[in-house]
Amino acid sequence: MRADDGQCVSIGSEPHYEEYSMQQNANDNATAPLGLTESQWEAICALRPADEAISPTAEGQRPASIYFSEERYKAEIEQLFKKVPLVAAPSCYLKPGESLAQDGYGIPMLLTRDKNGVVRAFVNACRHRGSKIVEGNEPVASARLSCPYHAWTYATDGRLIGIPRPETFPSAKKCELGLVTLECYEAGGMIWVGMDPKEKPGLLEGSDQLHADLEAFGLHTMHMYGRRTYDLKANWKFVMEPFLEAYHIQRLHADSIADMFLDVPSVYGFLGHHQRQTSGKANFSPDLLKGNIDNLHKYITHAYLCFPNTVVITSPYYMSIMILMPRGANRTVVDYFMLTKSEPDSDKAKELFARSFELIHEVFGGEDFRAAELQTAALGNGNSGVETLYFGGLEEMITPFHESIESFLDKPES
């Protein structure tokens, strides 16, 4: 606390990022039907019939140590996660006038949305003696934020607005004791935050197209149906990888969703470090694209890697968002969110959504996440003797994922 009259800058007054309108509809290109971006439509049109599929042969490999080395984990946090914008929550999870504590990244984040819809992010720590201010992990209505310890009170824009018994702090200048800010912007239906208060991470190349794609799906206007948090004994890259390849679907998911998909390559696209997979389901045929499709998501699945750690997957009646938050070389917290177009408005819709929510838990939780835990259980102590892991042609997008990570690291091989 300084006694002199320092320059006071109102928190949130100088956004580092471009402003994005929540109303903006990225898809104003008339040639792409069904509310898609032109880029999404081009990828869909590139899908071939299953019997014309060519088996891809691009192989890759990486040292097993990148999944359990403590040194590598620390480098990923310091040189990657602290340097890029990260998804903290889907936009629709935080309504005007609400605040939300997000602890998944291992630092206490606090998100607020003011009455005008503007989202901000702070470190969730009081400037008096450091208590967490907003507790729990669900959105709470809060016109102001009052610390539970001695009731120092902050506005949702982070300004300190109240100190009980202020005469006992004669040198305190409220304008210097606002909440510590984190870089924050909203785009593509998600709230992106920089996790290090000392950094101001800028938009990654390709993010504009990523945001446009996700907004074309209406992600920014959807309804938050449900959330589940998983605390996994697994390296975050092991958790990510099944969402970058379809090779495992007929095997790992043999008893659940395998029938809905084919063992063929998808159409892959790079949006900078972000990735887009466009996959025809078992019922897809290119002829379908000549007619009117009632619900594209019944025939085509889109999976996005929002680099580095968030996955968005489309389904006929809902969208899945998964934020993978590394907490150690062998630990990842996953926040899963299921978004629907609107609240269920009939018993049929209620049953459908509830069944989907459970199916996701069984498939992602019980199968994909389990595989990541099995890998970590086998390799995580570093003594397995397995030194190299291999990726085949149907896993070809895993290698560019690693290349993207490595491009941020001083010593990528460690």
Contacts with ligand FES, residue ranges (CB under 6 A): 126, 128-131, 147, 149-152
Residue among 48 and 150 whose Cβ is closer to ligand FES: 150
The entry of ligand FES, Fe ion, none that residue 380 binds, CB within 5 to 8 Å by partner kind: none
Distance CA 279, CA 153 (A): 50
Q: Which partner, ligand FES, Fe ion, none, binds residue 126 by CB below 5 to 8 Å per kind?
A: ligand FES
* 3-state SS, residue 67: helix
CB of residue 218 to Fe ion, shortest distance in Å: 24
Helix axes 38-45, 207-216, angle to 10 degrees: 80
Residue 368 binds which entry of Fe ion, ligand FES, none, with Cβ cut-offs from 5 to 8 Å by kind? Fe ion
Q: Would you say 75 or 303 has its CB closer to Fe ion?
A: 303
d(CA 137, CA 211): 26
Four-CA torsion 295, 296, 298, 303, nearest 10 degrees = -140
**Complex with ligand FES: residue 132 or 402, whichever CB lies closer:** 132
Least separation in angstroms between residue 148's CB and ligand FES is 7
CA-to-CA distance for 262 and 247, rounded, in angstroms? 10
Say which entry of Fe ion, ligand FES, none residue 242 contacts (CB below 5 to 8 A, set by partner kind): Fe ion
Decide whether 126 or 389 has the Cβ nearer to ligand FES: 126
Instruction: Note the residues at the interface with Fe ion (CB under 5 A).
Output: 242, 368
Instruction: Report the residue number, 151 or 386, with the smaller CB distance to ligand FES.
Output: 151
Q: Which neighbouring-strand residues pair with 269?
A: 276
Long-range (24+ apart) CB contacts under 8 A made by 101-108 are: 101/132, 101/134, 101/135, 101/136, 101/137, 102/137, 102/193, 103/137, 104/229, 104/323, 104/325, 104/333, 104/335, 105/81, 105/195, 105/325, 106/325, 106/327, 107/195, 108/132
When CB distances are held under 5 to 8 angstroms depending on the partner's kind, the choice from Fe ion, ligand FES, none that residue 152 binds is ligand FES
**Minimum CB distance to Fe ion, residue 331 (Å):** 21
- The rounded distance, in Å, linking the Cα atoms of 63 and 257 is 31
Which CB atom, from 27 or from 279, has the smaller least distance to Fe ion?
A: 279
Helix and strand element counts for the chain (H, E):
8, 20
- Give which of Fe ion, ligand FES, none residue 129 binds (C-beta under 5 to 8 Å, depending on kind): ligand FES
Q: Least distance in Å: CB of 108 to ligand FES?
A: 13
